[in-house]
């Protein structure tokens, strides 16, 4: 599954304002709830923050994947946000996180979310410059184009 196929310009936040972990999650969850209000059963922010309390969702190389499951969805929803300044997300490599893939999966189909988590991790691992390339994109459209280019590169 290609990440860019789940996104459109309205689901890309090229300049997040928040400067801490809870703020990033709050800002992104508000956007996602506004977009998918009829599909989400409420409490998204609380679910995301509780998941983060279990352990960081930062996977290194400047990328974090705040995620949770919820009722009401038929398929996963994704939001991509960028922080030029970076945010301390307790990443395993000790670096700031700049790229945030907020992922919400259907509670009754956890496999769909797991496949997306794996796709994000694989892309981050194979394209170690993903964060820097996305941060150079000035608009949401450019971010999507860059993400698509990185996803479609032949990997060997």
* Measured CA distances, 127 to 6, 16, 20, 77 (Å): 19, 22, 25, 23
pLDDT for 99 equals 98
pTM assigned to the model: 0.95
DSSP code of 20? S
Instruction: Give residue 140's domain range.
Output: 3-152
Position 155 confidence tier, pLDDT thresholds 50, 70, 90: low
pLDDT for 86 equals 96
Strands 67-70 and 63-64: unpaired
CATH number for 108: 3.40.930.10
Q: Is the pLDDT of residue 42 over 80?
A: no
- Element containing residue 44 per DSSP (H, E): helix 44-54
139 vs 1: which has the higher pLDDT: 139
Active site residue 61: no
Count the neighbouring beta carbons within 10 Å of the beta carbon of residue 50: 11
What percent of the chain has pLDDT above 90? Answer: 79
Average pLDDT estimate for 126-144: 94
- Minimum mean pLDDT range among 13-22, 50-59, 104-113: 104-113
Place of tokens 């459209």: 141
Average pLDDT estimate for 43-64: 94
């Amino acid at each position: 599954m290609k990440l860019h196929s789940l996104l459109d310009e309205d689901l890309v936040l090229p300049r997040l304002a928040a400067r801490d972990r809870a703020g990033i999650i709050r800002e992104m969850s508000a956007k996602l709830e506004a977009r998918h209000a009829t599909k989400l059963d409420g409490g998204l922010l609380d679910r995301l923050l509780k998941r983060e309390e279990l352990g960081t969702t930062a996977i290194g190389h400047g990328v974090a994947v705040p995620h949770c499951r919820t009722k009401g969805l038929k398929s996963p929803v994704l939001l991509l946000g960028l922080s030029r300044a970076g945010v301390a997300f307790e990443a395993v490599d000790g670096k700031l996180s700049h790229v945030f893939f907020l992922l919400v999966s259907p509670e009754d189909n956890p496999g769909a979310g797991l496949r997306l988590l794996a796709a994000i991790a694989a892309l981050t691992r194979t394209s170690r410059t993903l964060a820097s390339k996305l941060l150079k994109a000035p608009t949401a459209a450019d971010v999507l184009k860059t993400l698509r280019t990185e996803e479609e590169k032949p990997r060997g």
